[in-house]
A and B are shown apart, each in its own frame.
Chain A
Amino acid sequence: MEMIRWGILLALVLPVPFFLGFIPVKHMNRLQKTPAMTYVCGWFVSFFLFELTAVPFILFEQSFTMLVITYTCIVAIVLLLSLWQGRQLWRCYLEEIRQIKEMPLHVKLGWCVFYLIVFFQMAYAVLYWHYDGDDAYYIATAVLTKTFDTMYLRDAYTGYIYPLDVRHAFSPTPIYQAWLSKLSGIAPAVVAHSVLASVWLGFLYCVYGQIASRILWNRKNYKPVFMILIAVWFLYGNISLYTTETFAMTRIWQGKGLMAGMVIPAMFLCLLYLAQESVSQGMWMLFICVCMSAVFATSVSFMVVPTMTGIAAVLIGIKKKSVRYGVDLFLCCVPCLLLAICFFIVK
């Protein structure tokens, strides 16, 4: 039974996000059709769908079970659609894998070093635990959600009934983890600390890997060098309590860690591609998903996402000499702005 539970959980965090990524990746350029990009897209599609589904259920104080049924059905439908749409992508992935053979030896060695560092970080995340006081809220919220079948209607510190916690209701990362827990039967603390802490590190490096692919597109052999430097940068990033690296390395399973480690770098990844002359439809899809995922992660995104998107829209619009393009870019964060308006109204 335990094996089945772990099997379900690992399926939910490894192949399911990967397959969900097929839809945007199918509409991307040839160079973007990589397994890592698919995995990145899949997670953001998951967060996007969850944010859209969960927030109304939370605000209307519906039961968690209702949300679980609805979201699981949505994921199942999108998954089937993805598998159907992405059936031609396997050929691209095979080609990608074949290219490994053609790499010079020193590049292969570089990748080995990088994977070793990442493996060490992932193993450390599983074998060691880090005290973080905020887990008393985040993980407790997931546990309460699962136990009482309500969302944000219990005080995480006492367990007593509580008015709706609007401040966190728009960023339901703990509810997502409760969903993973409900489907797998594995406790939320185990899901977050022993599984997501490690799996999301892989996700983080996939995002940075895609950034490397874009900025080093004409110096591919330097990609492992960049990735090793990034891995070391994160390893020695505990400069203060507040840095991106500290949040990503010590509490990646919390919404803040997700925002610092994956969402903001993914925004830059999208903007790097959106600044190019020809932009794929898939990249637009990813950008919309990332903007929404920022809200899923933390309410700070209500400020950060419109600011980043707004400034990027102006700069890229000027660069492309197109007001229309700038407006289109800014429109991607409109769902985020609408949620921000709802947040301030409800708050």
Chain B
Amino acid sequence: MLDELVAVTKAVAEDVLLYNGNSFLIPLFLIALLFLWVTEKDRKVRVVLLYLVAALGVVFICPVYAWIGMKIDKDVYYRVLWSLPMGVLVCYSVVRLMTRFRLFVSKMLIFVMAVLIFMINGDLVYTKTLHFRAVNAYHIPQEVIDVADAIKLDNYKPIAVLPAELLPYLRQYTADIYTPYGRNMMEPAWNFQNTLYDAMEGDKYAYDVAEVARCARNEKCAFVVLSSGKRMNGSMEEQGYFLFRFVQNYFIYMDYNYYWVYKEQGLLDEDVIEAGG
């Protein structure tokens, strides 16, 4: 039990350090808390912004509480730190500090200093993260929409396998196409295994076409989407597929087996029938 509590304490410390990053967020928060502790006179505000916040901080780092929390979900325990209103405390401290000065220049100086500290302490949310200029209202890459529109059938929901870079977005656009796996495969920590995924993504520069075709058939995929950025060792046509479309640098192949079955059942759109011959 004691070993477990020590491990939990370490995990909490790690969470706090990860939350803090390379900044002085936590020290800034503690300074604000201390400053308000000394200067705040409103007892009602003190109870909520000081005593409650301090108590929450103590509880969250308490090994017993953390042990229970981590039993529920270890990966997201850091989220309890959201309950400490760091932004409110720091900004309120700055305002309170400003009110202690009479001269407008002094107030402005504190304000400018605070803004500078915020800027130095943190990173601009728009530059550090993965932000891109939106090309459509869905806020997903246009090639996903074009590829999905090409594969979608009016009367049937086919199974398709896609390159990994399209996986996180496909179902944000449409649920009319099934996939044998999704973004879950791309998270190594989640430990998902799929031979088709290995065939598709195992080699960064080339596809072993025979293996891709074999695994795709095992997964009942009617369509196989391959990136033109990768070399193809072999030909999909030799494996019983035909090139249905070339969209946004992606080859979309259809399995002839499914083509005939779907065609007989009247499930295919005109453009697919035309491409299949």
A residues at B contact (CB < 8 Å) = 124, 126-131, 133, 135-137, 139-140, 143-144, 146-148, 154-160, 187-190, 193-194, 208, 211, 214-216, 219, 222, 225-226, 229-230, 232-247, 249-250, 256, 259-260, 264-265, 268, 271-272, 275-276, 298-300, 302-304, 307-308, 311-312, 315-316, 319
Docked complex Cα distance between A233 and B115 (Å): 8
Min C-beta distance of A213 to chain B, whole Å? 13
- Which of B44, B129, B130, B179: most chain A Cβ within 10 A? B44
For A157, give the chain B residue with the smallest CB separation: B182
Q: Are A130 and B130 in contact, CB atoms less than 8 angstroms apart? A: yes
B residues at A contact (CB < 8 Å) = 15, 18-21, 23, 25, 42-45, 47-49, 51-52, 55-56, 59, 65, 68-69, 72-73, 76, 78-83, 85-88, 90-92, 94-95, 98-99, 111, 114-115, 118-119, 121-126, 128-134, 137-140, 157, 167-169, 171-187
For A230, give the chain B residue with the smallest CB separation: B91
Please list 21 pairs of residues, one from A and one from B, whose beta carbons are closer than 8 Å in the complex, sorted by A's number: A128-B132, A130-B129, A131-B168, A133-B183, A133-B187, A140-B175, A157-B182, A193-B137, A194-B134, A214-B45, A215-B92, A229-B94, A232-B119, A236-B121, A238-B129, A260-B82, A268-B85, A275-B45, A303-B72, A304-B83, A312-B52
Docked complex Cα distance between A246 and B73 (Å): 21
Q: Are B118 and A236 in contact, CB atoms less than 8 angstroms apart? A: yes
| Contact residues in B for A226 (Cβ distance below 8 Å) | 91-92, 95
| Contact residues in A for B18 (Cβ distance below 8 Å) | 240-242
Docked complex Cα distance between A297 and B69 (Å): 18
| Contact residues in B for A256 (Cβ distance below 8 Å) | 79
For A268, give the chain B residue with the smallest CB separation: B85
Partner of A128, one of B78, B85, B90, B126: B126
Docked complex Cα distance between A308 and B180 (Å): 43
| Contact residues in A for B15 (Cβ distance below 8 Å) | 242
Known contacts A136-B169, A156-B182: does B125 contact A315 (CB below 8 Å)?
Answer: no
Q: Are B125 and A235 in contact, CB atoms less than 8 angstroms apart? A: yes
Docked complex Cα distance between A311 and B99 (Å): 31
Partner of A144, one of B68, B82, B94, B175: B175
| Contact residues in B for A260 (Cβ distance below 8 Å) | 79, 82
- Which of B25, B48, B90, B98: most chain A Cβ within 10 A? B48
Known contacts A193-B139, A307-B59: does B187 contact A156 (CB below 8 Å)?
Answer: no
Q: Are A272 and B45 in contact, CB atoms less than 8 angstroms apart? A: yes
Docked complex Cα distance between A157 and B59 (Å): 37
Partner of B139, one of A189, A268, A302: A189
Partner of A234, one of B87, B123, B176: B87
Q: Are A315 and B51 in contact, CB atoms less than 8 angstroms apart? A: yes
Docked complex Cα distance between A319 and B78 (Å): 30
| Contact residues in B for A275 (Cβ distance below 8 Å) | 44-45, 47-48
Q: Are B172 and A139 in contact, CB atoms less than 8 angstroms apart? A: yes
Docked complex Cα distance between A272 and B47 (Å): 8
For A128, give the chain B residue with the smallest CB separation: B131
Docked complex Cα distance between A148 and B56 (Å): 43
| Contact residues in B for A215 (Cβ distance below 8 Å) | 42, 45, 49, 88, 92
Q: Are A319 and B181 in contact, CB atoms less than 8 angstroms apart? A: no
Partner of A319, one of B44, B115, B167, B182: B44
Q: Are A130 and B131 in contact, CB atoms less than 8 angstroms apart? A: yes
Q: Are B87 and A240 in contact, CB atoms less than 8 angstroms apart? A: no
| Contact residues in A for B126 (Cβ distance below 8 Å) | 124, 128
Partner of A219, one of B23, B90, B99, B132: B99
Docked complex Cα distance between A158 and B181 (Å): 5
Q: Are B56 and A308 in contact, CB atoms less than 8 angstroms apart? A: yes
Q: Are A272 and B181 in contact, CB atoms less than 8 angstroms apart? A: no
Q: Are A158 and B133 in contact, CB atoms less than 8 angstroms apart? A: no
| Contact residues in B for A276 (Cβ distance below 8 Å) | 44
Docked complex Cα distance between A126 and B123 (Å): 21
Docked complex Cα distance between A260 and B85 (Å): 10
Q: Are B138 and A193 in contact, CB atoms less than 8 angstroms apart? A: yes
